[in-house]
Amino acid sequence: MYLLALEEKLFDLPKKDIDNIIREFEPLIFKFFPNWSKINFDAFYSTKPIYKGLESKDLQKIFSSKDLLDTLEKDNSLLIVIDFQTRNSYRKKPIIGSIYSYINLSFNLSLFRILKSTIIENKLTGVGSFKDIKPFIEESIYKRILEEFTKLTLQTSLAHELSHWLDDINHKNHIEIAIKKYNRGDTDTLYNAKFIDTHYMEINAQIHALQDLKQRIGNSKWNKINIFQAIYRIPTLNALYRYLKSLEDNSEKKWLHSILKRLAREKILGKNMNTVPADDSLLTENYFSIGTEYNYIENKFN
Ligand SMILES: [Zn+2]
């Protein structure tokens, strides 16, 4: 494991590749969020429990690494499923007849449920804007919803999960092997990490999400924002920060230190990220408890 840590370097994940994948899913996403800017309230009234990505063909696309990433020479097929109500995850899963690596993309489950119940309870119909739900929802939750249901959220999440996939391909399936060991009851695995999300393999993926954000906002903006402003733009990282802070044992400071160290080592630390601002209210002011907003218990990579 430590040898792998020394070998780690960032994968090249061009935003054009990420964008091409997300575009494939837009017909589905637009059923709920037309053009990323509106809400189709009617779509939320479906009585079906929820879309189950693996069972619904229009939610999944199989990509070959050849189509995906020019930089990758090996041929590995990747099944990407978008599922509005589970969580982001990467696994290597046996799919009938073949073996694909498997990425599940999702928005935040708790926020999706809140959005759905707000729409149904207030009998909103037709196509409207996010502002239409504002009168019916707490300000802090409204802000979180605006941050969550965006193209940027899926783009940065996809960068995170693709980096797990490339990590596995390039390091002899070490993630998959660790998951199998763990499932066999072998606890002597990397899952002994206190929290998966602060383990270096997760930090590696989190750095890829930040790298994707940097590509999207451009170098000059990246050099102006501080580390909290960067984390704020990536809802999963924001939720992680809040969770770690809630432990009240400086876990969030240790995690932040690891993130900054890695950004520096990769030479992508923004010019305004050398110091950590004393005030972290940007990340914590919208904190609210919505059940398992961030689920650390499951022992799998997300
Ligand atoms: Zn991950």
Give the tens place of pLDDT for each residue, 42-81. 988 875 545 555 555 666 677 766 666 655 555 567 778 8
Is the model more confident about 203 or about 52? 203
In the chain, how many domains are there?
A: 1
Question: How far does residue 302's CA lie from ligand 1's centre (Å)?
Answer: 4
Question: How far does residue 106's CA lie from ligand 1's centre (Å)?
Answer: 13
> Distance between terminal CA atoms of the chain?
19
Question: How far does residue 42's CA lie from ligand 1's centre (Å)?
Answer: 33
* Position 3 confidence tier, pLDDT thresholds 50, 70, 90: very low
300 lies in a domain?
A: no
Count the alpha carbons within 13 Å of 263 in the hemisphere toward its beta carbon: 28
241 lies in a domain?
A: yes
Q: What is the pLDDT of residues 156-175, one digit of tens each?
A: 999 999 998 888 877 777 77
- Residue with structure tokens 């809400």? 39
Question: How far does residue 294's CA lie from ligand 1's centre (Å)?
Answer: 13
290 lies in a domain?
A: no
Question: How far does residue 18's CA lie from ligand 1's centre (Å)?
Answer: 16
Question: How far does residue 221's CA lie from ligand 1's centre (Å)?
Answer: 26
Asked if the model's pLDDT at residue 182 lies above 50, the reply is: yes
Q: Provide the whole-model pTM.
A: 0.84
185 lies in a domain?
A: yes
pLDDT at 4: 45
289 lies in a domain?
A: no
Question: How far does residue 124's CA lie from ligand 1's centre (Å)?
Answer: 35
Question: How far does residue 272's CA lie from ligand 1's centre (Å)?
Answer: 26
Look up the domain containing 111 and give its range: 2-284
301 lies in a domain?
A: no
Q: What are phi and psi of 98, to 5 degrees?
A: -160, 175
E strands of the chain, at which residues? Answer: 38-40, 60-64, 77-82, 89-95, 98-105, 127-129
Query: For the residues 188-205, what does the mean pLDDT come to?
Result: 70
Question: How far does residue 51's CA lie from ligand 1's centre (Å)?
Answer: 22
139 lies in a domain?
A: yes
In terms of Cα–Cα distance, which of 293, 36, 59, 11 is closest to 171? Answer: 11
Q: What is the pLDDT of residues 9-18, one digit of tens each?
A: 788 888 888 9
